[in-house]
Amino acid sequence: MRKERILFLCTGNSARSQMAEGLLRHMAGDRFEVFSAGTHPAGLNPHAVAAMHEIGIDISGHRSKLVDELAGQSFDCVFTVCDNAREACPFFPGGGRRIHHSFEDPAAATSERQSEVFQRVRDEIGTRLREFLRDGG
């Protein structure tokens, strides 16, 4: 049976989409093929790695990818996790769904609040993904 292919797309592919990729893999096991990419990759944010590590998910092996690396591939669902990505989101064949929710950019938080913002955004993404899975994925 073919697995659904899910793409998380944001601007930098450094935090929000990376955390979403790790969370969905963790929550759904091998039910989906999960990818993330960015319109302007900025490298994996170490605060995202730390926030995920706190809940037992290791994304340290992820890398920030340009969405162009996925050109020509088909996705069943494309999640945009920031407004910039939704506006710049290229066409992906396959008739897939588009789901959008703009999460705060935790990397833009002041340094004294950054860990707290990463944790909150991680948890907000987790809530949305639980809703996605509850509604049948």
Number of domains in the chain: 1
The one catalytic residue in 7, 9, 10, 125 is 10
Taking residues 51-73, what's their average pLDDT? 94
Please write the tens of the pLDDT for every residue from 2-43.
Answer: 899 999 999 889 999 999 999 999 999 999 999 999 989 999
Average pLDDT, the chain: 89
pTM to 2 decimals? Answer: 0.91
| 94 — pLDDT class (breaks 50, 70, 90) | low
- In terms of Cα–Cα distance, which of 21, 12, 80, 7 is closest to 41? 12
Structural domain including 36 reads: 4-134
Q: What is the number of residues in the chain? A: 137
pLDDT in the model for residue 39? 87
The one catalytic residue in 89, 99, 109, 133 is 89
- For position 48, which CATH number holds? 3.40.50.2300
Residue 89, both tokens: 């989101």
For residue 10, indicate whether it is catalytic: yes
